[in-house]
Structure 1
Amino acid sequence: MKKGSPNHVYDVIIVGAGISGISAAHHIQKTLPDSEYLLLEGRDNIGGTWDLFRYPGIRSDTDLHTFGFGWQPWQENRAIADGDSIVHYLRTTAERDGIYRHIQFQHRIVAASWSSGLELWTLEVETKARRIQLHTKFLILGTGYYDYNEPLRAEIPGLSNNFRGTIVHPQFWPKDLDYTGKRVVIIGSGATAITLLPNLAKKASHVTMLQRSPTYIMSIDNTTGGSWIHKLLPRTWAFKLDRWMFMWMIIILYNFCRLFPERSRAALEGAVAKQLPKDVPMDPHFRPLYKPWDQRVCFTPNGDFFESLRGGKAHIETAHIKTMSSDSIILDNGKTLEADVIVTATGLKFCLGGHIRITIDDEEINLANRYAWNATMLQDVPNLAFMMGYVNASWTLGVETSSQLVCRLLQHMRKKHYSSVVPRLPKEFPMERRPIWDLDATYVKKAQGFIPRCGNIGPWRGRTNYFVDLWKTRYGSITKDLVFRAGRP
């Protein structure tokens, strides 16, 4: 069928032009060069998260050497980078790889309907001018894990009823917000709050980070690219080696924390104590109640978070909020924090699939109410894959293994002349439900009913680490607990 006609069928349609979508597109055109694919992006620019978020200091929370792509290494001499630099990197990579010409911007998928008779997905797509239909044999959701339209609502007593100042969520930072000389309180203790504090302190009169409980914070030297490796090897080779070294470093750090939690706690807290000003105590502000990596460790490049505390324009409080007044936060320990601006850095609202209404043979399904096959496909959902990253490593490494697995599966289907594949739970084993993200963060706990689950056996288990998963992706079974059908050519 001629391309552009109403009945034209694509081999693959990818949803989302962020890291996930670009990764999937690269692997498809590399391993299946004669496949016809399309990448649909609902917004008007590439980059996903890094184009959406505009709060001061927005930056990666993992190193760009592993956050970048293996086929196009990050080549700046810094590990943690700002959002604009990440968007530039993604755009440049997509253009160099020939992916950019496959992207259709301002194409938002409203609904996706699978027909078992036709063995096709039919997509209802809203464009700037009209609504159209597209058809594809295989659908890949590279939409990320959170809701682009609505933030996670902070459950804070008196915030909406009593407080009369400015309330901001980092996901929707106003372009015209002027906080110069203002008193700012950031509610939260994760990577976003730790990024915001030193950046807001540059213009605000004072910034307070208010947390219910502390998190682990680790300073890292943000300068890379100056080692002997870079002096001896070509630039591209050297940065590829940097990528591998950062992969191993994070895996070693994660496993050391898991195996030796008390030693890890002592090391992390000891490093923090050396950077604090004398008037800021470790307890209760920097002694987390959980073990290292029960939640993610937050990184502060070159210790900028602690530098702001030492500078006197930033402060940290650890307490629960009792209520709000018109211009203050009243804490349960009796303290009052005056505020002109409150930033609710309390996490993101989970949403798999970007609000696409999905039906199978006219029956609407909930993607989150499914077990995940190899953290890539979903129980009883044919010819559909989703991209999900790691919690103990960079997002990109997770979508890289998923992308390669999908391509290997598509190659197998082509070789065997299969037209559809659907994961089925084994009947002989009772499946034990486990979270796909084993993380003790509040926003993850709240999301357990909105994200797929993992099991305890075979390909239904969750991810372990990148190198194990990469081996399984390349050499593990491509047929276990999958049902194939040879139908339409």
Structure 2
Amino acid sequence: MESSPIKAASAVDVDVLLIGAGLSGIGSAWHLQTYCPTMSYAILEARDAIGGTWDLFRYPGIRSDSDMYTLGYSFEPWTDAKAIADGPSILAYVNRVADKYDIRRHIRFGHKLVSASFDSAAARWTVEVESGGERRTMTARWLHMCTGYYNYSEAYLPDFPGRESFRGPLFHAQFWPEDLDTRGKNVVVIGSGATAVTIVPEMAKDGAAQVTMLQRSPTYMVSRPAVDKVANGLRRLLGSQASYGVVRWRNVLMQQLFFQLARRRPETVKKMIAKGLRKELPRDYAVETHFKPSYNPWDQRVCLVPDADLFAGIREGKVEVVTDTIARIVPDGIELKSGRHLPADIIVAATGLKLQLLSDVAFTIDGVARPLSGTMTYKGMMFAGVPNLSYSFGYTNASWTLKADLTSFYLCRILNHLRDTGRTIAMPVPQADVRPVDFLDFSSGYVQRAKDILPVQGDRAPWKLHQNYMRDLRALKYGKLEDGVMRFSGSTQHADVAA
């Protein structure tokens, strides 16, 4: 099928083009309006709604696995009673921010970025966009990608033997059917990550006859109250803005303390987690079998169980955790390698996301294709040898928005520096003596499966991802822009550097 003609743009459409109107994109727009008020911008959103993840995922009980005092924006206090919030509340918050700060009018819905080409002589990106069955172009001086890290149209679903023989619904949780009725049904959820831990107790509460969480291997899980009574008390005492800052910093420090303790004294943290589990589970429960992973805490993300709802389901007999391997899917359930048969009317695969680097956009620089997989990242937000391109990627050991906010602030610093110095291009210059290491220091399956498509980080600053908010705060908010690695230039100067 032939593509539609491309409509040429003769001038710069916007100074900054943001890709994605999710949590990161709306936050970046606020930063641009606040710190670069004279610069024009637009947001391209492939879907027809704001919210990204929080609009896409519709499975039962969808919620944050981080507290909203850190997952929320630094500039807009979270005022709901629950700190561990449900998906609809988070979506309403993002939409409220977009409307409060007049961001929505900058969004072009139904616009999917396909390719981006940078012209060094003009110091400008020309992007190709699909919209309404047509392809068109627009231009921008800077491109900031807020597209998240996973594929919206595909998920990871293993090819289970016998899958086609199953008589009931079998689907990935990312694509939850709107009309699914689980009442009185036997449901098996395959997986033990954040998605499974959310779905399982919710379906047990909603009337499923029996819900089984089938896991190949255990995951570390910790419980905490969904409602932060201290935070709510401080809000009544100090007001929304002041209390939000206090609680946000408290939670940042607690997150970092737990992570550092896990890395430095993993055995201590293992004992702490096991002690918490024993308080929540029946006295004779096989904690060692179902909740003792083979890896150390934070080698993979630790699952949060708000209000211990999963453990309550186990205590009440509505939820069973089975640790085993699938031999085959059969018409009425799952046969396990142990020989056990799990009866099932519905099978839900919570088997992980399919990672995607910058939405698989094809990038070109001065007519030469520039794949970004394997490219070294600068400060976790730009790429070596790639001009005027940045991206938002949150923390793996803390809330996504903490890093996204810092990235947006640093982007504004760069843009203002270019304006103030009369330059047009910013590009991190590769350093030959920096050793490449894996982009994410995580053993999770979804990360390991995507190694070939991910960028890399370096073994020292400014190429290293510290996964540490305080270090990034110093580097991105207060660190030097002219650091000997970032090259600021005009278009003709850059042509010589690139050559």
Name the TM tier (shorter chain). over 0.9
The alpha-carbon deviation at position 277 of structure 1 amounts to 2.5
Q: Which residue among 387, 401, 424 is the counterpart of 1:382?
A: 387
Contact 1:59 1:83 in 2 (8 A): yes
The alpha-carbon deviation at position 68 of structure 1 amounts to 0.2
Whole-angstrom distance in 1 between the partners of 2:370 and 2:165: 40
Q: Which residue among 262, 271, 276 is the counterpart of 2:281?
A: 276
- Which letter maps to 1:173? W
Counterpart for residue 46 of structure 1: 50
Contact 1:215 1:298 in 2 (8 A): yes
Counterpart for residue 204 of structure 1: 208
Q: How do 1:76-475 and structure 2 match up within 5 A?
A: 76-128=80-132, 130-159=134-163, 161-201=164-204, 202-226=206-230, 228-278=233-283, 280-427=285-432, 429=433, 431-475=434-478
Whole-angstrom distance in 2 between the partners of 1:16 and 1:199: 30
Q: Percent identity?
A: 40
The alpha-carbon deviation at position 204 of structure 1 amounts to 1.4
Number of residue pairs the alignment of both structures matches? 483
Contact 1:375 1:436 in 2 (8 A): no
Counterpart for residue 12 of structure 1: 16
Deviations 1:288-307 (A, max 9, x none): 11111111111111111101
Deviations 1:42-99 (A, max 9, x none): 1111000000000011111111110000100111111111111111000101111222
Contact 2:54 2:88 in 1 (8 A): yes
Whole-angstrom distance in 1 between the partners of 2:297 and 2:416: 41
Contact 1:371 1:453 in 2 (8 A): yes
The alpha-carbon deviation at position 250 of structure 1 amounts to 0.8
Going from structure 1 to structure 2, the CA distance change for 1:445 and 1:137 (only over 3 Å counts) comes to same
Contact 2:9 2:139 in 1 (8 A): no
The alpha-carbon deviation at position 407 of structure 1 amounts to 1.2
What's the secondary structure of 1:134's corresponding residue? Answer: strand
Q: Which residue among 37, 46, 52 is the counterpart of 2:41?
A: 37
Structure 2 portions without partners, runs of 5+:
1-7, 494-499
Counterpart for residue 4 of structure 2: none
The alpha-carbon deviation at position 116 of structure 1 amounts to 2.0
Structure having the larger proportion of residues in helix: 2
Q: Does residue 25 of structure 1 match 2:42? A: no
- Which letter maps to 2:306? P
- Which letter maps to 2:298? W
Going from structure 1 to structure 2, the CA distance change for 1:157 and 1:207 (only over 3 Å counts) comes to same
The alpha-carbon deviation at position 461 of structure 1 amounts to 0.8
The alpha-carbon deviation at position 129 of structure 1 amounts to 6.1
Whole-angstrom distance in 2 between the partners of 1:247 and 1:457: 24
Whole-angstrom distance in 2 between the partners of 1:70 and 1:488: 39
Deviates most, 354-363 or 338-347: 354-363
Going from structure 1 to structure 2, the CA distance change for 1:155 and 1:248 (only over 3 Å counts) comes to farther
- Which letter maps to 1:78? K
What's the secondary structure of 2:372's corresponding residue? Answer: coil
- Which letter maps to 1:157? P
The alpha-carbon deviation at position 15 of structure 1 amounts to 0.2
Whole-angstrom distance in 2 between the partners of 1:32 and 1:402: 14
- Which letter maps to 1:211? Q
- Which letter maps to 1:165? G
Deviations 1:204-235 (A, max 9, x none): 11110011111111110111255553343123
Whole-angstrom distance in 1 between the partners of 2:478 and 2:236: 36
- Which letter maps to 1:267? M
Deviates most, 227-236 or 439-448: 227-236
Deviations 1:455-480 (A, max 9, x none): 11221111331111011112223233
